[in-house]
Amino acid sequence: MSRPARNRIPKPAVPSGVRKSSSSNSGKMLAMTYSDSIRSGINRYHSDQGLNQPPAKPPDPVELQRVREQKAAAQIKNMEDFLKMNGLALEECVSYQTGMKYR
C-alpha cells in the first residue's frame, strides 16, 4: 500500500523590511531594524490618546474597605496554613509574642 501524495502549502515569504527575531521565540515575533522602524513612520513617542486620559475617579471608600478585608483574610489563611504545615501553634510565634505582625 502506498500513501497518496499530499499537496504541500508553501509558507508565506517574509516581507523585505522585516526580519525574523533571533530570540528563542523567533517564530512568534517579528522584529524590524531601527532604520526600518524610522522609515515606516512608527511614532516612538506617547500617543495623544495616551497623554489625554480622563482623570481617574476617586476610590470608593466601601470598595477600599472590602479590598482591605480580603487582603487581611488572605494573610490570616496563609498564616494558618503555614502553622498547620509546620506543626506550630500561634502562641509559639514571635509575631504573636511581640505583637509585631511581620516578625
pLDDT tens-digit series, residues 68-101: 999 999 998 998 999 999 998 988 888 888 888 7
Examine residue 85 and state whether it is found in any structural domain, yes or no.
yes
Range of the domain at 71: 61-98
Total tally of structural domains belonging to the chain: 1
DSSP 88: -
Give yes or no for a contact between 13 and 3, defined as CB atoms under 8 angstroms apart: no
Does a structural domain hold residue 1? no
Enter the pTM of the model: 0.40
Q: What is the pLDDT of residue 47?
A: 66
Query: From CA 40, how far away is CA 81, in angstroms rounded?
Result: 56
User: Do the domain assignments include residue 86?
Assistant: yes
pLDDT tens digits for 10-66? 666 655 555 555 555 545 556 667 666 666 665 556 666 667 777 778 889 999 999
In a domain, 65, yes or no: yes
Separation between Cα atoms, residue 37 and residue 23, nearest integer Å: 19
